[in-house]
């Protein structure tokens, strides 16, 4: 059965800290991995990763995929209170079209 594991499940930091969120997966015929940010409502898209070793960056956020070790990390530097959210990792298997989501990491950034 396809499985996505995220760690930590919960994290509390102070503004200005750097955080690393982890996502590991077991999936048949991996195609892509995506990161989403979920505040109070809908998940919003952050990154899509399909190739190992290529870092994607957007402002203070960056992410990289390791297809050999079956994991991805999401880094947030100089965290702000607005980064407080649940960060979801999703994997797309090659055989289907649905996303398999992990449980999410709840990040709280304190002022």
Partner 1 sequence: DTGVSQNPRHKITKRGQNVTFRCDPISEHNRLYWYRQTLGQGPEFLTYFQNEAQLEKSRLLSDRFSAERPKGSFSTLEIQRTEQGDSAMYLCASSFRQGAVTDTQYFGPGTRLTVL
The three-point CA angle 21-47-37 to 5° equals: 60
Minimum CB separation from partner 1 for residue 104, in Å? 5
Minimum CB separation from partner 1 for residue 15, in Å? 25
Minimum CB separation from partner 1 for residue 68, in Å? 20
Smaller CB distance to partner 1: residue 17 or 56?
56
Smaller CB distance to partner 1: residue 72 or 104?
104
List of residues contacting partner 1 (CB under 8 A): 4, 31-32, 34, 36, 41-45, 48, 50, 88-90, 92, 96-104
Minimum CB separation from partner 1 for residue 41, in Å? 4
71-76: strand order across its sheet: 3-7, 19-26, 71-76, 61-66, 56-58
Q: Where are the beta strands (DSSP E) in the chain?
A: 3-7, 10-14, 19-26, 30-38, 43-49, 56-58, 61-66, 71-76, 85-93, 100-101, 105-110
Smaller CB distance to partner 1: residue 17 or 48?
48
């Amino acid at each position: 059965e396809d499985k996505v594991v995220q760690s930590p499940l919960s994290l509390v930091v102070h503004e200005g800290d750097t955080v690393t969120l982890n996502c590991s997966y077991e999936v048949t015929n991996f195609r892509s991995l995506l990161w989403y940010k979920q505040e109070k409502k809908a998940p919003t898209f952050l990154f899509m990763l399909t190739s190992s070793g290529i870092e994607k960056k957007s402002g203070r956020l960056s992410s990289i995929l390791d297809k050999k070790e079956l994991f991805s990390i999401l880094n947030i530097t100089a965290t702000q209170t607005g980064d407080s959210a649940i960060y979801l990792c999703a994997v797309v298997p090659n055989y289907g079209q649905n996303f398999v989501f992990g449980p999410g990491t709840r990040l709280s950034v304190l002022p």
